[in-house]
Amino acid sequence: MPPVVDARRSALSIAQRQFDAAADALGLEDSVRKVLREVKRELVVHFPVEMDDGSFRLFTGFRVQHNIARGPAKGGLRFHPGLTLDDVRALAMYMTWKTAVVGLPFGGAKGGVVCEPRSLSDNELERLTRRFTTEISLIVGPDRDIPAPDLGTDAHVMAWIMDTLSMHAGFSVPASVTGKPTSIGGSEGRYTAPGRGLALVTLQAMRDRGIDPSGATVAIQGFGKVGSVSAQVLAESGMTIVAVSDSRGGVHRSGGLDVESLIALRDEGGRVSEYGGGDRVTNEELLELDVDVLVPAATEAQINAHNAPAVRARVIAEGANAPLDPDADAILNDRGALILPDILANAGGVVVSYLEWVQDQQAYFWAAGEVNARLREVMVRSYQQVAARASERGLPLRAAAMELAVDTVAQATAVRGIYP
Ligand code: GLU
């Protein structure tokens, strides 16, 4: 189901409203508030790519840096046909709050290209990636702005980016991008990090609320990098995955699905709705299942004023960025659902991106166990800080996370002062 976004409720205006609420609660000084409400820097590029049939197509791409007060800008690159500058600005702002809430010394950025990567051949995708990288090389680099995978991009795309930037430099610059293959300086555990991080936060929050994970039921919308790995980790922790879906629909089995067979089916190019071991469900039906935990891990605004009243899960763990619109957030908070907010719940990816960047800079690499232990430490500590603020001030976790993040960035901005 495509997200419903009208002009009055653009992604950026939603992100700004969330920021305003945190800024009001913190009594943020006007100068700092003005700076943090807008993105710092945005680059829009239009560039040609030669197609396999010899024709040329012009593509549009973006790289937006929202804030760099606490370190280099950091955030993913999205290849998607519906991508807009407004979306990228909002997503760059969320990255600033995400890196702050988990205590990474980074700012926030996002970028991408308006394209349908599945309709491009491998060679076309490589040419597009290399040319786009060259266009944004004006503002990216290991000390300036470090891209990573997001929707529609993967480790292979990151390898082309790393190679292009390295060719320009004349030497290998592994720290210029994260989410790379391990053969060129990628980190162990980076692919599984977003899903693992989400599972760690979910399990911790359930234990805190006295909900026993063993036997608890889970429905997952989206079976990509975040959805499939969180399914694996939650199942390993004793939870029962009763439904999963991709963009074409999903499958439901109240006794539990076999996650490994679903992953094998997807990796062979199949769709989870074709899986024989359960009943078909639509994406809409999946969101409304009577489960303990719902993981919306597809895309923005999937839960809104229209369908939120029918959502029955006790815990909602935001795998995607902004999967609940503000109306849905209010409706579900009112009925007492525990919402684990995106900037915390899906921060595992950027946490291991940070560990990858550190390993690249020191040219010394850690085994998967070491990376996963550090990820666990950061996710559990960050969750506990957010939960403590939420209970001290009687706030939902999203408001508490936003306040902690905005306060961290505001302090850095204020102490540096306004130049000149
Ligand atoms: N795209 C991911 C996110 O939205 C990862 C960003 C990164 O690792 O820099 O958090």
Q: What is the pLDDT of residues 355-391, one digit of tens each?
A: 999 999 999 999 999 999 999 999 999 999 999 999 9
Q: Is residue 353 within 6 Å of ligand 1 at its C-beta?
A: yes
Give the range of the structural domain holding residue 127, as residue numbers without chain letter. 28-184
- Indicate if 146 and 237 belong to the same structural domain: no
- Indicate if 128 and 225 belong to the same structural domain: no
For 240-277, the DSSP string reads EEEEEEETTEEEE-TT---HHHHHHHHHTT--GGG-SS
Q: Ligand 1: which atom is nearest the Cα of residue 94? A: 4
- Indicate if 85 and 173 belong to the same structural domain: yes
Q: What angle is formed at CA 320 by the lines to CA 351 and CA 2, rounded to 5 degrees?
A: 155
Mapping DSSP to helix (H, G, I), strand (E, B) and coil, where does residue 141 land? strand
Residue 322 domain-assigned (yes or no)? yes
Query: Does residue 85 register a pLDDT over 70?
Result: yes
Tokens (6 digits) for 58: 């012009």
Model confidence band, residue 328 (pLDDT cutoffs 50, 70, 90): very high
In angstroms, what is the span from residue 83 Cα to ligand 1's centroid?
A: 16
Query: Does residue 7 register a pLDDT over 50?
Result: no
In angstroms, what is the span from residue 401 Cα to ligand 1's centroid?
A: 17
Predicted confidence (pLDDT) per residue in 275-317, tens digit: 999 999 999 999 999 999 999 999 999 999 999 999 999 999 9
Residue nearest to atom 9 of ligand 1 (CA): 75
- Indicate if 239 and 131 belong to the same structural domain: no
Residue 124 domain-assigned (yes or no)? yes
The interaxial angle of helices 85-101 and 397-416, nearest 10 deg, is 90
**What confidence score (pLDDT) does residue 3 get?**
45
Query: Does residue 64 register a pLDDT over 50?
Result: yes
Residues annotated catalytic, as ranges: 110
Domain final residue, candidates 327, 345, 363: 345
Q: Ligand 1: which atom is nearest the Cα of residue 347? A: 10
Predicted confidence (pLDDT) per residue in 190-221, tens digit: 999 999 999 999 999 999 999 999 999 999 99
- Indicate if 48 and 143 belong to the same structural domain: yes
Query: Does residue 333 register a pLDDT over 90?
Result: yes
**What confidence score (pLDDT) does residue 206 get?**
97
Please give the span between the terminal C-alpha atoms of the chain, in angstroms, as a whole number: 48
Model confidence band, residue 2 (pLDDT cutoffs 50, 70, 90): very low
**What confidence score (pLDDT) does residue 6 get?**
47
Residue 414 domain-assigned (yes or no)? no
Residue 20 domain-assigned (yes or no)? no
Q: Which one, of 111, 134, 150, 118, lies nearest residue 49 by Cα?
A: 134
Query: Does residue 186 register a pLDDT over 50?
Result: yes
In angstroms, what is the span from residue 253 Cα to ligand 1's centroid?
A: 32
**What confidence score (pLDDT) does residue 310 get?**
98
- For a substitution probing ligand 1, which of 88, 350, 351, 359 has the most ligand atoms within 8 Å of its CB? 350
Q: Is residue 349 within 6 Å of ligand 1 at its C-beta?
A: yes
Number of domains in the chain: 2
Query: Does residue 5 register a pLDDT over 90?
Result: no
- Indicate if 292 and 215 belong to the same structural domain: yes
Q: Which one, of 193, 217, 227, lies nearest residue 379 by Cα?
A: 193
In angstroms, what is the span from residue 229 Cα to ligand 1's centroid?
A: 15
Q: Is residue 92 within 6 Å of ligand 1 at its C-beta?
A: no
Residue 62 domain-assigned (yes or no)? yes
- Indicate if 131 and 259 belong to the same structural domain: no
Q: Ligand 1: which atom is nearest the Cα of residue 106? A: 9
Average pLDDT over residues 89-100: 98
Within 10 angstroms of residue 82's Cβ, the number of other Cβ atoms is: 12
- Indicate if 275 and 319 belong to the same structural domain: yes
- Indicate if 332 and 249 belong to the same structural domain: yes
- Indicate if 166 and 286 belong to the same structural domain: no
Query: For the domain that residue 292 is a member of, what is the CATH number?
Result: 3.40.50.720
* pTM confidence score: 0.96
Task: Report CA torsion sign: 46, 48, 53, 54.
Answer: positive
**What confidence score (pLDDT) does residue 397 get?**
98
Residue 397 domain-assigned (yes or no)? no
Q: Is residue 300 within 6 Å of ligand 1 at its C-beta?
A: no
What average pLDDT does the chain have?
96
**What confidence score (pLDDT) does residue 253 get?**
98
Query: For the domain that residue 177 is a member of, what is the CATH number?
Result: 3.40.50.10860
Residue nearest to atom 8 of ligand 1 (CA): 350
50 neighbors 123 (Cβ within 8 angstroms): no
Model confidence band, residue 1 (pLDDT cutoffs 50, 70, 90): very low
Residue 368 domain-assigned (yes or no)? no
Q: Which residue has the tokens 């891209």?
A: 147
- Indicate if 241 and 308 belong to the same structural domain: yes
Domain final residue, candidates 139, 157, 184: 184
167-189 as b/e: b if 16+ CB within 10 A? eeeeeebbbbbbbbeeebbbbbb
Predicted confidence (pLDDT) per residue in 130-143, tens digit: 999 999 999 999 99
Q: Is residue 33 within 6 Å of ligand 1 at its C-beta?
A: no
Query: Does residue 4 register a pLDDT over 50?
Result: no
- Indicate if 165 and 272 belong to the same structural domain: no
Domain final residue, candidates 345, 370, 388: 345
